[in-house]
Amino acid sequence: MGMLRHAAVAALSSSLIISLAGPAAAATDVTPPTVISTGLPEGGFLGTETILRPAFSDENGVVKVDVLVNGAFVNSFLPPSGEWDPKTWKWSGRVRIGGVAVGDNTDVDVTVRAWDPAGNMGSRTVRVRTDFRTPTATSITPDESVTLGGVATITPLGLPDDTARVTLSYGFAAEWGVISTATAAPWALTWDNTGQERTAIVYVTVEDHAGNRFGYRRDYKIDGVGPDVYASTNWIPEVIGPGEGVIAVSYWDPKDVARIEWWIDGALRSTSQVARYDFGNVSRIADVEARVFDAVGNVTVVTRKVRVDATAPTVTAVTPAQGALVRGEKIWTEFKATDASGISGGQVYYGGDSAPFAGVRESPYRVSMPFVQGRNTVLWQIYDRLGNVTEVRRSYIVDNNAPYFTVIMAPKNGAKVKGTVKVAVSVSEEYGIARVELLINGKVVAKDYAAAYKFSINTKKYGKKIKVQLRAYDKAGNVTTSPTRIWKR
């Protein structure tokens, strides 16, 4: 875009001298106002447009101000229209050097005259040096072809050494809609458009110490909105297991994404959409932050407090129990466990096998195992939903062999008996006898739990014909019953 001057040089004319009909002055007021300051320092600079902020003192106030250069009238300033108080009128004016024949880089006298309501006039003069050179920039970055992000920096380059201020504003005049101001190199002007998508016209104004100014118009396209990021708990879970974990973010339009940063535990860990990170083997809370940038620097940040669960399941029961005696055509093993993240299942190994015999994923976690007569071993690996594992080994004895009687000391089958009859037996079984029962006429009438197994039978209680049997149980539950002996009384 072309360069625009902020202000044109105005030709001086007698019409600039305007009389003010102020409040009627008392006849006794003959004291002129005191001009405390002209608003320019002695030895300062006067440009083509210089803002003066003089200071006055007068008991009735000031109603008009004149500015002269080398004795020639330049400007006249009046108070604002409407109701006003000359005592409290604070004013500033931009002095435009036009029709006065003054050269550049020349010492001149600037006089400020102040008038009170009674027509008294006071003045003050300072000597300054003229500076009519317009301050310009060689270029302004970024170029208008560049789309600006949410927070952009506009910088005029190649400024003259006497630059006093640069301003970024929405208005043609630097005082209108000021966005940012810089008063020293590197003259960077910050413009925050976070959350906005639009086209905007702005002006960069360069001003030197003498008040000379030059302005540049710029039309920029603005994209202050970060990428549209999708990061549900499926992508960044609330709870994650120990060791290497996988986390990810998704976005609607890949063209909007320039780069991704994964900050985990306070450090940059990955720049991929899908990040792999070793969360360690200790239960804790990990700080996870995904920063997704677009091409103009906007960033969408997703933060999570991720709980690292490194606690293995708590096993409450495994059957058969350690050292248990079991029997049957099928031998079942089962586990019960609890875990804060839930149980995902388990797999069981038989004996010293290197491969699992079976796996289960749903409760009840129960498997029918192969077995041999005698000692058997199983190993359960029990997993929670995050991969933590608890191993439980159980050794148990399978006993499907029935006990057998080695000695039965009792009247023989068909014997005649009377009174009290003594019966004694010996029973053998590899893993032990639980008990021996005495049955008469099909009913259990006595039990003995310790060897040697002895019974006393009062034959008078059982009629003329007595059917006698012995039944032995081993500790696994196997049972043997002796042949029936019939006695006569």
For residue 39, CA distances in Å to 54, 143, 205 come to 4, 38, 22
> Which CATH number belongs to the domain containing residue 444 in this structure?
2.60.40.10
Which pLDDT score is estimated for 23?
44
Give the DSSP letter of residue 464.
Answer: S
Of the three residues 250, 284, 308, the one that is the final residue of a domain is 308
Same domain (yes/no): 40, 94: yes
Of the three residues 130, 147, 181, the one that is the final residue of a domain is 130
d(CA 92, CA 77): 9
Three-state DSSP state, 254: helix
Same domain (yes/no): 219, 233: no
Same domain (yes/no): 279, 265: yes
Same domain (yes/no): 412, 350: no
* Residue showing tokens 């072809």: 145
d(CA 345, CA 411): 60
Which pLDDT score is estimated for 174?
57
Measured from the Cβ of residue 398, the count of other Cβ atoms closer than 10 Å reads 22
- Furthest-apart CA atoms within the chain: distance in Å: 167
d(CA 308, CA 294): 31
Which pLDDT score is estimated for 93?
52
Give how many domains the chain has, as a whole number. Answer: 5
Same domain (yes/no): 123, 155: no
Pair type for strands 55-57 and 34-37: antiparallel
Which pLDDT score is estimated for 1?
38
Of the three residues 101, 130, 159, the one that is the final residue of a domain is 130
Which pLDDT score is estimated for 101?
74
Q: Phi and psi at residue 16, in whole multiples of 5°?
A: -75, -20
Which pLDDT score is estimated for 219?
95
Same domain (yes/no): 208, 237: no
For residue 157, CA distances in Å to 113, 135, 187 come to 40, 12, 8
Same domain (yes/no): 299, 331: no
The one-digit pLDDT tens for each residue of the chain (489 residues) are 333 333 222 222 222 222 233 344 445 889 999 999 988 999 999 888 777 788 888 888 888 899 999 998 888 887 765 544 555 555 455 556 655 678 889 999 999 999 999 999 999 999 999 998 999 999 999 999 999 999 999 999 999 999 999 999 998 765 678 999 999 999 999 999 999 999 999 999 999 998 889 999 999 999 999 888 887 777 899 999 999 999 999 887 777 799 999 999 999 999 999 999 999 999 999 999 999 999 888 999 999 999 999 999 999 999 999 999 999 999 999 999 999 999 999 999 999 889 999 999 999 999 999 999 999 999 999 999 999 999 999 999 999 999 999 988 999 999 999 999 999 999 999 999 999 999 999 999 999 999 989 999 999 999 899 999 999 999 999 999 999 999 998
Same domain (yes/no): 297, 350: no
Same domain (yes/no): 8, 120: yes
Domain that holds residue 176: 139-223
Contacts of 363 (CB under 8 A, 6+ apart): 343
Cα angle, residue 59 at apex, residues 54 and 64 outer, rounded to 5°? 45
Query: What six digits make up the tokens of 362?
Result: 């749903």
Query: What six digits make up the tokens of 59?
Result: 């008991």
Same domain (yes/no): 81, 143: no
Which pLDDT score is estimated for 90?
55
Same domain (yes/no): 122, 179: no
Which pLDDT score is estimated for 253?
73
Same domain (yes/no): 25, 106: yes
